[in-house]
Amino acid sequence: MSGIFGVFNFNGNFDITHAMQTMCNAMPRCKNTASKIWQDGVAGLGQTIYDKTRQKIMQYKDTNSNFVLTTICRVDNRAELGNLLQISETDVVRFPDSEFILRAYLQWGQECATRILGDWAFAIWHPNEQKLFLARDHHGNTSLYYFRDKNLFAFASSKDAILSLKNISTPKLNELYLSQILTGWQAYHGERTIYEQIYRIPPSHTLSVTNSQLINHQYWYLKSTPELHLSKRNDYVEAFLSIFDEAVRCRLRSTTNSTSNYNDIAVQLSAGLDSSAVTVTAEKLLRSEQRKVVAFTAAPAYDSRKFVHSSNGAIGDETLLAKKCSIFANSLRHITIKAEAISPIQSIRTALDIHKEPIFGAANYFWLSELRKAVHDMGYRILLTGQNGNPGMSWTGVVSSQPLNVQLSILGWQKWFLLKFYHARQSLFHTIKSNSIVLSFWHNYFEQRIIRRYSAININFARRLKLLEQMTCSSNQRPPLTILDQRRILQPGRSMTGCLHAEMGAAYDLEIRDPTADVRVLTFSFSIPDHIFIDPKTGIDRWLIREAMKDRLPDEVRLNRRFGVQSADIVPRLRACAPDVEKALKELSLGPASEYVDVPHMLQSWRIIQSQDTPEASLLARAVVCRGIMVGLFVNWFYQ
């Protein structure tokens, strides 16, 4: 992995040399870090390489155009681009990925973003036009942030680099963003970050910057995908396998000829269909290359059965199904990670140091960080995941897309009526917003049952923001009207997953790659008519991925309809580090965090966590205590 950064000085009253060195020093540092800086009197571009044994410095100055490029990239369609750009077969193999980025930009300009597949982000300086152009991939694991005022534009793949600049005044806290994390409001963030003055370039976006304007452009829209109609159901399976296998294959490319574990592939394997499909497909493709796939699974350190709703199909320990998958896949090596070396509170502090902002899944960070640390410590540098599978290739399908007789056979009359009522709620929300009495009742109910019970937010803070009123008007609070609404997490700017993976990869010197986020896989899965995802004969959902994995996964995994619960043993883990929890809660009560989080409610939840072995205690541990502590510690750090 690598990182990029740079500045554009609008008025000349700025020390670029000092700024570039400051940003470089603030970028994540790993063993064998190398760096390169280019600058003139107006602009500067820089790059860090976290392991110089695996990558070349990807910074170029084109002698004909004078364009200067800095990039982090893995280009997945090198052969296709080579053909379009008339690059010889020898050079297609020999050229670094950055050469394809530069040549594509010289050929197609800003439109090149639509043609380059993979995980990439780049910045190109036009000295003659005094213009900076930045772009980010369709949906990959990359991060790119920027700051602008009347004197300066600065960008970096790490927020640390931007925050290090002295001329950026003390950032202002984005309080709405903070409240959305605290309450679990899965809102569309777009460019917003936790800092008012620092913005994120979302996936599928470009940014053109001059001293007089900033133009933001989205170049890819999932909703524009035309529906695909094939003559037979199995035709979708064959087409999918061709695309999915290629998405996995191109993410197996190693960056070194070393015989060490650098050439082997690690996979984050759960009991789910997506990571299982990625794992067995990677093993199948690498078998002939004498390269190994090693699967890592997060395992509970304590008995988690009391803390999950097993009657609803929840699984607290995913290791059994993950092991069945690994045995079926030619007995690949399988390693379980219990993450006993770090407490949930310690991991929260680590996450804040890496991301410089709180994240929604605070309670999951102990196993996420320990799994990645284990992958790194064992010498692997590529980690595959299946993070984006659920709304994409393993989409469940919507029951209402089926004929009426199939709907009734799947749901029964009672659930069918409830489903109809659910879709009718759209008119109810119009009533809520237009009737003050109904609106008052709704706000009171939501505040008491949702906000105050399952969130650590200080109610005075929520009322100051008029949070309930804003939530009522949000599209997220309406029943989804279209398939895109239901799969909204695929929309650029909706999920921060790509940024988080990129930042965590930088922290642990890993390339975290996700075949389920491949734009070809996403586009194909979204083009399939929704009724295809449900088997009309059996009523089983996720038909596409289940049918595609018929010969690759054991039926215990392939046909499993139970779901794994992450951090299922969070309650006993918190009990085991009680001094850490109480120290953090005391820090919040004595600092500015007490204005934002409800410390008495968190203490009350903590007492329940200490005394009850129930799913309710687990929910309070994740939603109130862990998330509240992460937000509170961030607020204290931010102001102090």
Question: Does some domain include residue 492?
Answer: no
CB-CB neighbours of 405 under 10 Å: 9
Question: Does some domain include residue 491?
Answer: no
The CATH number of whichever domain residue 336 belongs to comes to 3.40.50.620
Domain co-membership, 379 together with 525: yes
Burial string for 266-296 (b: 16+ CB within 10 Å, else e) reads: bbbbbbbbbbbbbbbbbbbbbeeeebbbbbb
Q: What is the pLDDT of residue 112?
A: 97
Q: What is the pLDDT of residues 345-377, one digit of tens each?
A: 999 999 999 999 999 899 999 999 999 999 999
8 Å CB contact between 72 and 1: yes
Question: Does some domain include residue 618?
Answer: yes
Domain co-membership, 196 together with 298: no
Residue finishing a domain among 166, 189, 220: 220
Give the helix/strand (H/E) hosting 288. Answer: none
Q: What is the pLDDT of residue 551?
A: 94
Q: What is the pLDDT of residues 402-443, one digit of tens each?
A: 788 877 777 787 777 776 666 665 555 555 555 565 556 566
Q: What number is the average pLDDT over the span 440-454?
A: 69
Q: What is the pLDDT of residue 445?
A: 64
Question: Does some domain include residue 429?
Answer: yes
Identify the domain containing residue 597 by its residue range: 570-639
Long-range contacts for 582-586 (Cβ within 8 Å, ≥24 apart)? 582/606, 583/345, 584/345, 584/348, 584/629, 584/632, 584/633, 585/629
At residue 127, what are phi and psi to the nearest 5 degrees? Answer: -65, -35
Q: What is the pLDDT of residue 174?
A: 96
Domain co-membership, 315 together with 464: no
Indicate if the pLDDT at residue 151 is higher than 90. Answer: no
Indicate if the pLDDT at residue 479 is higher than 70. Answer: no
Domain co-membership, 379 together with 420: no
Domain co-membership, 15 together with 45: yes
Domain co-membership, 360 together with 410: no
Question: Does some domain include residue 154?
Answer: yes
Domain co-membership, 523 together with 464: no
Q: What is the pLDDT of residue 425?
A: 55
Distance CA 369, CA 540 (A): 35
Pairing of strands 382-384, 511-513: parallel
> Two tokens at 505?
């990869």
* Bigger pLDDT: 323 vs 400: 323
Give the residue from 120, 505, 569 showing the smallest Cα distance to 112. Answer: 120
Question: Does some domain include residue 216?
Answer: yes
At residue 37, what are phi and psi to the nearest 5 degrees? Answer: -130, 130
Indicate if the pLDDT at residue 96 is higher than 50. Answer: yes
Indicate if the pLDDT at residue 91 is higher than 80. Answer: yes
Range with the lowest mean pLDDT among 45-49, 88-92, 215-219, 440-444?
440-444
Indicate if the pLDDT at residue 48 is higher than 50. Answer: yes
Indicate if the pLDDT at residue 50 is higher than 80. Answer: no
At residue 443, what are phi and psi to the nearest 5 degrees? Answer: -60, -40
Q: What number is the average pLDDT over the span 212-235?
A: 93
Residue finishing a domain among 448, 469, 486: 486
Q: What is the pLDDT of residues 509-554, one digit of tens each?
A: 999 999 999 999 999 999 999 999 999 888 899 999 999 999 999 9
At residue 412, what are phi and psi to the nearest 5 degrees? Answer: 85, 165
Domain co-membership, 385 together with 314: yes
Q: What percent of the chain has pLDDT above 70?
A: 89
8 Å CB contact between 600 and 628: no
- HSE of 261, CA atoms in CB hemisphere, 13 A: 15
Instruction: State the pLDDT confidence band at 34, using cuts at 50, 70 and 90.
Output: confident
Spatial CB neighbours of 420, under 8 Å, sequence gap ≥ 6: none
Q: What is the pLDDT of residue 54?
A: 41
Q: What is the pLDDT of residue 493?
A: 79
End-to-end CA distance of the chain: 32
Question: Does some domain include residue 507?
Answer: no
Q: What is the pLDDT of residue 60?
A: 77
Instruction: State the pLDDT confidence band at 171, using cuts at 50, 70 and 90.
Output: confident
Burial string for 161-193 (b: 16+ CB within 10 Å, else e) reads: bbbbbeebeebebbbebbbbbbbebebbbeebb
Instruction: State the pLDDT confidence band at 258, using cuts at 50, 70 and 90.
Output: very low
Burial of 420 (0-12, 13-18, 19+ CB in 10 A): exposed
Q: What number is the average pLDDT over the span 435-463?
A: 75
Q: What is the pLDDT of residue 52?
A: 39
* Bigger pLDDT: 288 vs 555: 555
Pairing of strands 2-9, 152-156: antiparallel
Give the helix/strand (H/E) hosting 87. Answer: none
Sheet holding 511-513, edge to edge: 333-337, 293-298, 265-268, 382-384, 511-513
Domain co-membership, 191 together with 255: no
Cα–chain center distance at 67: 31
Q: What number is the average pLDDT over the span 441-457?
A: 74
Distance CA 186, CA 412 (A): 31
Q: What is the pLDDT of residue 634?
A: 98
Residue finishing a domain among 561, 590, 618: 561
Give me the chain's average pLDDT, please. 89
Distance CA 596, CA 463 (A): 11
Distance CA 514, CA 350 (A): 23
Give the residue from 495, 468, 251 showing the smallest Cα distance to 388. Answer: 495
Q: What 3 state SS string does 350-396 have? A: HHHHHHCCCCCCHHHHHHHHHHHHHHHHCCCCEEECCCCCCCCCCCC
Indicate if the pLDDT at residue 55 is higher than 90. Answer: no
Domain co-membership, 200 together with 247: no
* Number of domains, the chain: 4
Question: Does some domain include residue 171?
Answer: yes
Give the residue from 371, 390, 119, 118 showing the smallest Cα distance to 266. Answer: 371
Domain co-membership, 282 together with 372: yes
Distance CA 302, CA 572 (A): 7
Instruction: State the pLDDT confidence band at 58, using cuts at 50, 70 and 90.
Output: low
Instruction: State the pLDDT confidence band at 489, using cuts at 50, 70 and 90.
Output: confident
Q: What is the pLDDT of residue 437?
A: 59
Domain co-membership, 467 together with 539: no
